[in-house]
């Protein structure tokens, strides 16, 4: 049986750090509120000359080095993002040119914070079917470009970053195992960016009304995020007849430490096996689980055959979980 195996990962975080005390000077907030309500201490912000493809490029280069591959060997390139360089062409095509991945078929995918898991699921199908042999999935976000820096409800939450994974079709027991995905468009109004598409194209008014920024009804999103992540995580465990003890590390989407704690508690996993980097980076949407996977692989004692789980929730709403045998 062919599997899509991750043979290299990489991540990139922009240099600029925005701390909670920096935010205290911008909006009516304070370090203590942000830490106790979210777990975030700082986040990274892209430089003025950095767009999403620039962050994606750095993460991709690292993933290719780890995989020991040249850019020309990539046959499929998927970028998961809600902050593309521009509405079109795709950020994947922009990245292709920068990276020199001249033999790749390239497209973007928008599943918000669940984007990396959706990207992996997409590539898994192509590789297992034999359409392509080698793929690159990149999750990259420049959320600072759609953050309303006057809105304390949202501006404290988000950061910029990118993570990448190179996958190859192999006859092995290792690789992407079960992936569960879910979508529910009925909740689109709770988390979105209203303008800039065909519904509300850019006008003087749309700018004045601040409609080109991310809007979120955080409190309502919070409850559904917990339920959805529990459901997704439990699905992939039960579909494989596994016990939670079998999973070595869980890499959850990092929107709020309280969400992560609640999910871990409900599924009965101790926080020692749950990866956290929210204090350093905040919520980087699709990039969060991709960066988390790279950091777990580099920092934790992950051995061949260990089971890892990615689980995420985001705008759409979308949710999903992915079980990986390393
Ligand atoms: O990644 C995709 C999915 N996103 C999520 O999953 C995010 C889910 N939501 C959350 O993480 C939380 O709802 C937030 C962190 C966004 C907000 O936390 P909360 O505990 O739900 O707070 P709240 O919105 O209910 O607000 C509580 C109070 C309000 O004041 P009043 O009305 O009680 O006087 C807010 O105005 O906290 C106030 N508040 C703030 N205070 C200081 C809201 N933002 C801030 C702030 N600093 N930055």
Domain spans in the chain, listed from the N-terminal domain onward = 2-173, 177-325
Q: Report residues whose beta carbon is within 6 angstroms of any ligand 1 atom.
A: 29, 33, 37-38, 113, 152-153, 156, 218-219, 221-222, 225, 255-256, 259, 283, 313-314
37 CA to centre of ligand 1 in angstroms: 7
- Please tell me the residue having the least CA distance from ligand 1 atom 23: 219
Same fold, 2-173 and 177-325: yes
Residue 253 appears among annotated catalytic residues: yes
Structure tokens given for 125: 């199908």
Q: Which residues of 201-233 are buried (b: 16+ CB within 10 A; e: fewer)?
A: eeeeeeeeeebbbbbbebeebeebbbebbbebb
List, as one string, the DSSP characters of 68-85: T--GGG--EEEEE-SS-S
Question: How far is Cα 63 from Cα 52, in angstroms, rounded to an integer?
Answer: 17
**Which residues of the chain are modeled with pLDDT < 70?**
none
In the Cβ-directed half-sphere of 56, how many Cα atoms lie within 13 Å?
33
Residue 113 appears among annotated catalytic residues: yes
309 - beta bridge partners?
Answer: 250, 323
Residue 283 appears among annotated catalytic residues: yes
> 86: which residues sit within 8 A by CB, 6+ positions away?
none
Residue 274 per-residue DSSP state:
B
The answer regarding whether domain 2-173 maps to CATH 3.40.47.10 reads: yes
Residue 301 per-residue DSSP state:
-
Structure tokens given for 174: 């290792």
> 38: which residues sit within 8 A by CB, 6+ positions away?
156, 157, 256, 257, 258, 278, 282
Q: Note the pLDDT of residue 1.
A: 81
Q: Note the pLDDT of residue 106.
A: 98
100 CA to centre of ligand 1 in angstroms: 43
Q: Note the pLDDT of residue 268.
A: 93
The answer to whether 218 touches 153, Cβ cutoff 8 Å, is: yes
- Marked catalytic residue, from 253, 256, 277, 322: 253
Q: Note the pLDDT of residue 301.
A: 92
Which of 111, 148, 218 has most ligand 1 atoms within 8 Å of CB, for mutation? 218
Q: Where are the alpha helices (DSSP H) in 156-308?
A: 204-208, 218-239, 257-267, 278-281, 287-299
- Marked catalytic residue, from 122, 277, 283, 322: 283
Residue 142: strand, helix, or coil: strand
Q: What is the β-pairing status of strands 76-80 and 105-109?
A: parallel
Which of 23, 29, 30, 37 has most ligand 1 atoms within 8 Å of CB, for mutation? 37
Which of 110, 116, 153 has most ligand 1 atoms within 8 Å of CB, for mutation? 153
Q: Note the pLDDT of residue 221.
A: 97
- Please tell me the residue having the least CA distance from ligand 1 atom 28: 153
**pTM to 2 decimal places:** 0.98
CATH of 177-325, one of 3.40.47.10, 3.30.565.10, 1.10.10.10, 3.40.50.2020: 3.40.47.10
- Marked catalytic residue, from 93, 113, 155, 322: 113
Q: Note the pLDDT of residue 314.
A: 98
Residue 240 per-residue DSSP state:
T
222 CA to centre of ligand 1 in angstroms: 9
């Amino acid at each position: 049986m062919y599997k899509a195996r991750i043979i290299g990962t990489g991540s990139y975080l922009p240099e600029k750090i925005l701390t909670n005390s920096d935010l205290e000077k911008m909006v009516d907030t304070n370090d203590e509120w942000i830490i106790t309500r979210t777990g975030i201490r700082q986040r990274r912000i892209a430089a003025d000359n950095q767009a999403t493809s620039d962050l994606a490029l750095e993460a991709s280069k690292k993933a290719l080095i780890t995989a020991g591959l040249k850019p020309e060997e990539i046959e499929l390139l998927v970028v998961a993002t809600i902050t593309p360089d521009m509405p079109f062409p795709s950020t994947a095509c922009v990245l292709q040119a920068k990276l020199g991945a001249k033999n790749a078929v390239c497209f973007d995918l928008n599943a918000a914070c669940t984007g990396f898991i959706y990207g992996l699921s997409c590539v898994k199908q192509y590789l297992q079917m034999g359409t392509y042999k080698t793929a690159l999935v990149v999750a990259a976000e420049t959320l600072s470009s759609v953050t309303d820096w006057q809105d304390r409800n949202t501006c404290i939450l988000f950061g910029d970053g990118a993570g990448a994974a190179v996958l190859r079709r192999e006859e092995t027991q290792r690789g992407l195992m079960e992936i569960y995905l879910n979508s529910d468009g009925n909740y689109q109004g709770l988390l979105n960016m209203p303008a800039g598409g065909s519904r509300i194209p850019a006008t003087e008014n749309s700018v004045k009304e601040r409609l080109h920024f991310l809007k979120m009804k955080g409190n309502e999103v919070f409850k559904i995020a917990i339920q959805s992540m529990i459901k997704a995580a439990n699905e992939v465990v039960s579909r494989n007849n596994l016990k939670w003890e079998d999973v070595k590390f869980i890499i959850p989407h990092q929107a709020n430490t309280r969400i992560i704690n609640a999910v871990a508690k409900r599924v009965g996993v101790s926080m020692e096996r749950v990866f956290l980097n929210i204090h350093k980076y905040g919520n980087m949407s699709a990039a969060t689980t991709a960066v988390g996977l790279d950091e777990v692989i580099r920092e934790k004692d992950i051995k061949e055959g260990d089971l890892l789980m990615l689980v995420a929730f985001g705008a759409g709403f979308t949710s999903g979980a992915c079980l990986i045998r390393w």
